[in-house]
């Protein structure tokens, strides 16, 4: 019997939870705020779904309801991607070692 | 681009996201980590364009919208003051949540675009995945909006509780599951819309009973939810990058919530069920008796610190409110000129989000190797001459160690009372968030400095 591809995706998902678990525990507590802002930025990779939704269907009929929801999701995700990465960058820039 | 090739690229961007989080294990590698994250995002977006392969007028609209959103995001990122970081993060979470809802709606309306079957006959697994993604996304959205309003001060930070609250939440939660079950049976769009509306409601009801100082847990929890929502959508779209990211973000938020709960010695459910500090019988019973308090002025404080060998600074949320971090740094500079050794002690739940105090101190140019976590520095208080408590309260309360009746009993606290003297900057003797009196105020070695945190610190700088 063939294995359902869903099982493969589930495997990736569960293994990624484990990776996340170990990687996040090794994050230094002083960087917990940048951790939140960067996870925020990367979770906006949901823009992938938004782009597919926006460009779905006929080239001529791109203003159907489903496309419009896609367009709206693109704006939201884009705010998050740029905002999230840039604010993280701005914060990380501030962490400096003692000048010797 | 073939589906296999794009799947491989999505895997690459998933790995880059892992490296982005990995970089945060130390400040030196963190900036590089952020670039990995950006690269991962760029790859995911470009690959999506190539695999959709629709470069008509729609593509132009997408680029324009991307640019508009990007400009708004960049503008916010550069303008936002560091003290407003908790509400910014809450706001960003709400956007991820809403984006997940929109993508799920779109997939429901036009399943053929996502290879999920046709309207009315969407594949069962996809239907479950997209409704879960939409439900969690909707909860994340409305919950984050409430968290944002509370953090911004637009809505009162005090818990809003009413009778039967938990029962209503439970019923609503169960009804979402029942609706998903029926949605799978008859694919009716009305059921789909109801799931989303109820989830919005659940998000609101979930966050309103949680008080201001529990916000670190709430923000971490919503962070986690936004991850699970993304993962749900990732399963629907069969997209590896989204599944990996969702799992990473989900577990990251969960770990942060755990750390925050441990910092308060409370269970996750205790925080979520809310209403802490709403019971004030303990503070009432003690209000009548007047205990002697020693208070001093900036000159006294300056004199004490100038003649100390070592000073530890304990910042809290009050420092963020008063925007006192820069004045504090000036004070420390002046002390260092006098040969005083200064370090900072940060409690895990100080502030309104994980790592809040560290960012503010970094903004004020405090080197991160002078800033210590609770476990690292707690033994040093006994050998320290002066502790300067600025804007913190409950996290220094020795009652947590001595009085099993106290609601904060067992919470890890900073042992400030062990130092030779304590300077406590506070506007009045009013109790902190937990609604309990701080025993520290009445100790012989405590000198209260009744003033605004920033003003007092500035005055001390002048007298130094």
ipTM of the complex: 0.94
* The pLDDT value given to residue B274: 64
* The pLDDT value given to residue B327: 92
* The pLDDT value given to residue A38: 95
Q: Which residues of B touch A45 (CB under 8 A)?
A: 13, 17, 40-41, 44, 230, 241-242, 245
* The pLDDT value given to residue B288: 45
Please give the model's pTM, rounded to 2 decimal places: 0.90
Structural domain of A56: 29-95
CB B361 within 8 A of CB B323: no
* Residues B72, A9: C-beta atoms closer than 8 Å: no
Does A58 score more than 80 pLDDT? no
* The pLDDT value given to residue B343: 93
Give domain status of residue A74, yes or no.
yes
* The pLDDT value given to residue B278: 44
* Residues B247, A55: C-beta atoms closer than 8 Å: no
* The pLDDT value given to residue B279: 44
* The pLDDT value given to residue B283: 43
Give domain status of residue A10, yes or no.
no
Q: Which DSSP letter does residue B419 get?
A: S
Give domain status of residue A20, yes or no.
no
The minimum CA-CA distance between B246 and chain A, rounded to whole Å, is: 6
Q: Is B54 in the A-facing interface, judged by CB distances under 8 Å?
A: yes
Q: Is B248 in the A-facing interface, judged by CB distances under 8 Å?
A: yes
* Residue B321 neighbours by CB under 8 Å, 6+ apart: B83, B391, B453
* The pLDDT value given to residue A99: 64
Give domain status of residue A81, yes or no.
yes
* The pLDDT value given to residue B21: 94
For residues B93 and B83, what is the distance between their CA atoms, to the nearest angstrom? 18
Please choose, from the candidates B17, B127, B238, the residue with its C-alpha nearest in 3D space to the C-alpha of residue A8: B238
Which residue out of A10, A50, A95 would a mutagenesis test of the B interface target, given it has the greatest number of B Cβ atoms within 10 Å?
A95
Give domain status of residue A53, yes or no.
yes
Q: Report how far apart, in Å, the C-alpha atoms of B113 and of each of A59, A70, B57, B89, B249 are.
A: 13, 12, 18, 32, 27
- Closest partner residue to B223 (CB to CB) among A29, A36, A85 is A36
* The pLDDT value given to residue A74: 95
| DSSP-derived pairing of the beta strands B121-122 and B117-118 | antiparallel
Given a cut of 70, the residues of chain B with pLDDT beneath it are 274-290, 432-435
* Residue B19 neighbours by CB under 8 Å, 6+ apart: B33, B36, B37
Give domain status of residue A11, yes or no.
no
For residues B461 and B306, what is the distance between their CA atoms, to the nearest angstrom? 11
Tally the domains of chain A.
Answer: 1
| Choice between A19 and B265, residue whose per-residue pLDDT is larger | A19
For residues B450 and B444, what is the distance between their CA atoms, to the nearest angstrom? 17
CB B441 within 8 A of CB B424: yes
Q: pLDDT of B232-255, one tens digit each?
A: 999 998 899 999 999 999 999 999
* The pLDDT value given to residue B289: 53
Share of chain A above pLDDT 90, in %: 70
Give domain status of residue A52, yes or no.
yes
Among A residues 22-41, those touching chain B with beta carbons less than 8 Å apart: 23-41
Give domain status of residue A5, yes or no.
no
> Taking chain B, what is the end-to-end CA distance rounded to the nearest angstrom?
68
């Amino acid at each position: 019997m063939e294995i359902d591809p869903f099982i493969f995706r589930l495997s990736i998902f569960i293994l990624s939870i484990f990776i996340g678990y170990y990687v996040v525990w090794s994050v230094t507590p002083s960087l917990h705020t940048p951790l939140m802002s960067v996870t925020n930025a990367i979770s906006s990779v949901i823009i992938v779904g938004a782009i597919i939704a926006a460009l779905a269907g006929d080239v001529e009929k791109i203003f159907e309801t489903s496309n419009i929801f896609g367009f709206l999701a693109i704006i939201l995700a884009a705010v998050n991607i740029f905002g999230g990465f840039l604010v993280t960058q701005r914060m990380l820039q501030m962490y400096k070692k003692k000048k010797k | 681009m073939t589906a296999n090739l794009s799947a491989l690229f999505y895997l690459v961007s998933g790995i880059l996201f892992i490296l982005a989080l990995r970089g945060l294990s130390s400040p030196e590698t963190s900036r590089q980590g952020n670039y990995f994250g950006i690269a991962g995002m760029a790859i995911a977006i470009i690959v999506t364009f190539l695999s959709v392969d629709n470069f008509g007028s729609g593509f132009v609209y997408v680029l324009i919208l991307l640019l508009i959103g990007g400009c708004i995001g960049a503008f916010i990122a550069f303008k936002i003051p560091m003290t407003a970081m908790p509400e910014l993060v809450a706001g960003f979470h709400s956007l991820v949540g809403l984006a997940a809802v929109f993508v799920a709606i779109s997939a429901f309306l036009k399943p053929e675009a996502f290879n999920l079957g046709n309207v009315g006959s969407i594949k069962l697994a996809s239907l479950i995945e997209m409704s879960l993604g939409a439900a969690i996304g909707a909860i994340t959205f409305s919950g984050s909006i409430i968290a944002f309003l509370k953090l911004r001060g637009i809505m009162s930070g005090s818990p809003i509780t009413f009778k039967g609250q938990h029962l209503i939440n439970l019923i609503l939660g169960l009804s979402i599951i029942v609706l998903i079950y029926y949605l799978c049976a008859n694919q009716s769009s009305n059921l789909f819309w109801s799931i989303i509306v109820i989830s919005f409601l659940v998000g609101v009801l979930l966050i309103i009973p949680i008080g201001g100082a529990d916000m670190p847990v709430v923000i971490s929890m919503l962070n986690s939810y936004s991850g699970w929502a993304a993962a749900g959508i990732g399963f629907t779209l069969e997209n590896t990058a989204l599944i990996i990211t969702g799992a990473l973000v989900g577990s990251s938020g969960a770990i942060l919530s755990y750390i925050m709960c441990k910092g308060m010695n409370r269970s996750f459910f205790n925080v979520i069920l809310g209403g802490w500090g709403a019971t004030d019988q303990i503070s009432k019973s003690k209000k009548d008796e007047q205990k002697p308090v020693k208070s001093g002025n900036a000159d006294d404080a300056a004199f004490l610190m100038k003649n100390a060998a070592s000073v530890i600074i304990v910042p809290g949320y009050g420092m963020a409110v008063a925007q006192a971090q820069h004045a504090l740094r000036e004070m420390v500079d002046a002390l260092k000129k006098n040969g005083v050794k200064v370090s900072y002690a940060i409690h895990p739940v100080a502030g309104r989000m994980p790592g809040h105090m560290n960012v503010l101190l970094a903004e004020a140019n405090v080197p991160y190797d002078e800033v210590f976590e609770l476990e690292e520095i707690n033994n040093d208080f006994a050998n320290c001459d002066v502790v300067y408590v600025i804007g913190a309260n409950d996290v220094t309360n020795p009652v947590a160690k001595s009085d099993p009746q106290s609601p904060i009993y067992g919470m890890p606290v900073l042992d400030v009372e062990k130092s030779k003297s304590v300077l406590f900057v506070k506007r009045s003797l009013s109790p902190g968030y937990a609604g309990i009196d701080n025993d520290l105020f009445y100790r012989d070695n405590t000198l209260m400095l009744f003033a605004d945190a920033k003003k007092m610190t500035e005055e001390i700088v002048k007298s130094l």
